[in-house]
Amino acid sequence: MIIPVNLTTEKYDIVLEREAIKKVGKLVDLKRRVFIVTDSGVPKEYVETVSSQCETSYIECIPEGEDSKSFEMLQELLSKMYEFNMSSEDLVVAVGGGVVGDLSGLAASLYMRGVDFVNVPTTLLSQVDSSIGGKTAVNFLGTKNLVGTFHNPKSVIIDVDTLNTLSSRLIHEGLAEVIKMAITFDEDLLELLENTKEPFDKDEFESIIGRAVTLKLSVVTEDEKDNYLRHTLNFGHTIGHALESVNKGELLHGECVALGMLPMCSKEIQPRLISILKKYELPYEIKDDFEKLKPALLHDKKTTQGGIHCVLVEKIGKPVIKKLSIEEIADKYSDFQKGKNQ
Ligand SMILES: NC(=O)c1ccc[n+]([C@@H]2O[C@H](COP(=O)([O-])OP(=O)(O)OC[C@H]3O[C@@H](n4cnc5c(N)ncnc54)[C@H](O)[C@@H]3O)[C@@H](O)[C@H]2O)c1
């Protein structure tokens, strides 16, 4: 499946195909210096498959994990790109999850004011979410994604077969983002997730990924620079990010987003959401006291004077952005805890 992306400044394709990783050389011009970035948790076979198709390549393998999205690692990458004699005509290829994609996309956007970037996402979360929309970032001063750029790839190459090696916890983490998109924009996708049984076969994966990619794409195409509509993709993220900061190392990002959606949707949606979270082994009980979340909420990027811009979903497919005070968020949080967590 080829999904064309038509932005005002860029046109490129998202290729969603089994064994697509073996065809990177057919899809992208690799007859130049190719700087490939991966991390220590990504199976070597994927990066070797890409490098074997290049004439001149260099593989930079960063330590796996969110800590690699740092200024230090960015500087390391830029130094290695310089030592590899990269020119403005050359190419950076990310082979890995959202950490590799966000960091190497940022390096590609900065080196010589921008070189070509191709993303080969290998986690479900990166295939349905982080590889789409051109956002790059590192974390800074303890704040996630505080420093970044918009730098669209020349191509996104999604090979569902790379999910064979991904743990079921990480598959479910990616599904949390798909559930988020379904609740926010597409009840049919929600029904598909409700009616499909695990383990998914490759066709089921492809159709779920294809729908999620198309949804995210329609939002980012309408709001390329994150002015309004794109904020709706943050459904579940305000409370989710705060939960992530207090449960560092215990809960994954997608698991926190799963929990973060619950207080922000209507009482009618909550039971349906809880049942799909249970189905995909995602958490559905919020244990932390709200007071613990407050410092992180006050540092949220969506915090402005007088409140935080939150995404609320009263009806499936109809997200609303509303500025809520900390007290109003606390009320929603405790309403949910009282109703569902006891
Ligand atoms: N740019 C965006 O728009 C955007 C959107 C959402 C999330 N993000 C970012 O994405 C990041 C999270 O991405 P993620 O969930 O992919 O995490 P990740 O990149 O840390 O990958 C998770 C783990 O899976 C391993 N892995 C990757 N591919 C694998 C495979 N095929 N088989 C086995 N193991 C594999 C990695 O080594 C890592 O240990 C966060 O930093 C988040 O901020 C960015």
Beta bridge mates, 315: 318
Mutation choice for ligand 1 from 126, 128, 160, CB with most ligand atoms inside 8 A: 126
In ligand 1, which atom is closest to the CA atom of 132?
3
Find the angle CA(83)-CA(88)-CA(94) to the nearest 5 degrees.
70
Contact 106, 92 (CB under 8 A): no
Q: How confident is the model at residue 228 (pLDDT cuts 50, 70, 90)?
A: confident
pLDDT in tens, 268-297: 999 999 999 999 999 999 999 999 999 989
Q: Are 160 and 128 in contact (CB under 8 A)?
A: no
Q: Compute the distance from residue 99 Cα to the ligand 1 centre, in Å.
A: 5
Lay out the sheet containing 155-158: strands in order across: 2-6, 11-16, 155-158, 116-121, 91-96, 33-39, 56-62
| 319 CB near ligand 1 (under 6 Å) | no
Question: Distance from the CA of 130 to the center of ligand 1, in angstroms?
Answer: 8
Is the predicted pLDDT of residue 72 greater than 70, yes or no? Answer: yes
CB of residue 94 inside a 6 A radius of ligand 1: no
3-state secondary structure of 146: strand
The CA distance from 96 to 126, in Å, is: 8
- Between the CA of 123 and the centroid of ligand 1 the distance, in Å, is 6
Say if CB 189 and CB 181 are below 8 A apart.
Answer: yes
Q: Output the CA angle 19-217-118, nearest 5 degrees.
A: 45
Q: How many CB atoms lie within 10 A of CB 138?
A: 21
Residue nearest to atom 11 of ligand 1 (CA): 98
Other CB atoms within a 10 A radius of the CB of residue 87 amount to: 10
Pick from 19, 41, 2: nearest CA to 161: 19
254-284: b (≥16 Cβ within 10 Å) or e: bbbbbbbbbbbbeeebbeebbebbebbebbb
Give the model's confidence band at 184: pLDDT under 50 very low, under 70 low, under 90 confident, else very high.
Answer: very high
| Residue 104 to residues 9, 27, 184, 337, Cα–Cα distance (Å) | 21, 20, 29, 39
- Ligand 1 and 130: CB distance under 6 A: yes
Which of 37, 124, 130, 175, when mutated, tests ligand 1's pocket best, judged by the most ligand atoms within 8 Å of its CB?
130
Is 138 near ligand 1, meaning CB less than 6 Å away? no
pTM for the predicted model, two decimal places: 0.96
Question: Hey, CA dihedral for 15, 148, 228, 189, is it positive or negative?
Answer: positive
Is the separation of the CB atoms in 323 and 245 below 8 Å?
no
pLDDT per residue as tens digits for the range 8-31: 989 999 999 999 999 999 999 999
Please give the Cα distance from 275 to 18 (Å, whole number): 31
Residue 225: the pLDDT is: 83
Read off the pLDDT band of 340 (50, 70, 90): low
Q: Is the pLDDT of residue 342 over 50?
A: no
Whether residue 301 has its Cβ less than 6 Å from ligand 1 = no
Rounded to 5 degrees, φ, ψ at 6 are -120, 90
* Atom 19 of ligand 1, nearest CA residue: 97
Q: Which atom of ligand 1 is nearest to the CA of 126?
A: 16
99 touches ligand 1 (CB under 6 Å): yes
